[in-house]
Amino acid sequence: MRRLSLLLFVLLLAGCQPAEQAIHDFPSGTLVDMSYAYNSQTVYWPTAPMFEKSTDFEGVTDAGFWYTAYTVKTAEHGGTHLDAPIHFSEGKHAADQIPLESLMGSAVVIGVEEQSAADRDYLISTEDITAWEAEHGQIPDGSILLFRTGYGQFWPDREAYMGTAERGPDAVALLHFPGIHPDAATWLTQERIIKAVGIDTPSIDRGQSTLFESHQHLFGANIPAFENVASLDRLPETGSYVIALPMKIEGGSGGPLRMVGIIPNE
């Protein structure tokens, strides 16, 4: 974590405030990098191609100055990434259509590490959410809801993180990691008003899911998801903020995500 000013965050939220007032009022705090770097170890779904980076040029040019340029290739869904609602819901927001307001805001972090350690296929329940609310109060409207399973500690060991290091269609049946229960996903769309959900596993549906019902329920309500979120153990359960900006792929079903947590100074 780095100690930096929150100027960018305040400017984004300042709205119609005069520039001088926004600059004068900005607080300082801790920034948390919540995205994994893309490299040869990046975790992808077993059927998705792995990350590739090739060198176009690296070195001193004929004109005598240093120059580097690379070509990268990645599937939309790998590493820390966005799932756009259109990924599982026809006619809903594509990656470039998600309102910016849905990608930033107050963060709520619900930890289910104990349950997930006891059961690799654990389904995060409505009861887990209401138990959190009994201690902290109802999830505020417009929150970004993040689930911390503890599986981020295994990154980038694919077998420990997602249940298998094998690749290809047959490996999908070998996936084992926690996710959101479809009933809890439905409950969130009906009983709470959230901007987005996120989780520190490869998918908001558990590894053994075959219908991806949590995706269907949440995306049908135009609620996007952030997957393979890093450093959730560094965010408090309440009081922090998140900015999650994906690559703006026209019509995309998702894309690489640079996600930042912000913990204001008290």
Catalytic residues: 87
8 Å CB contact between 255 and 226: no
Instruction: Provide the token pair at 235.
Output: 């965010």
DSSP string, 177-244: --EE-HHHHHHHHHH--EEEEEESSS-SS-TT-SS-HHHHHHHHTT--EEES---GGGS-SSSEEEEE
3-state secondary structure of 152: helix
Q: How do strand 225-227 and strand 194-199 relate by DSSP bridges?
A: parallel
Q: Whole-angstrom Cα distance, residue 137 to residue 244?
A: 25
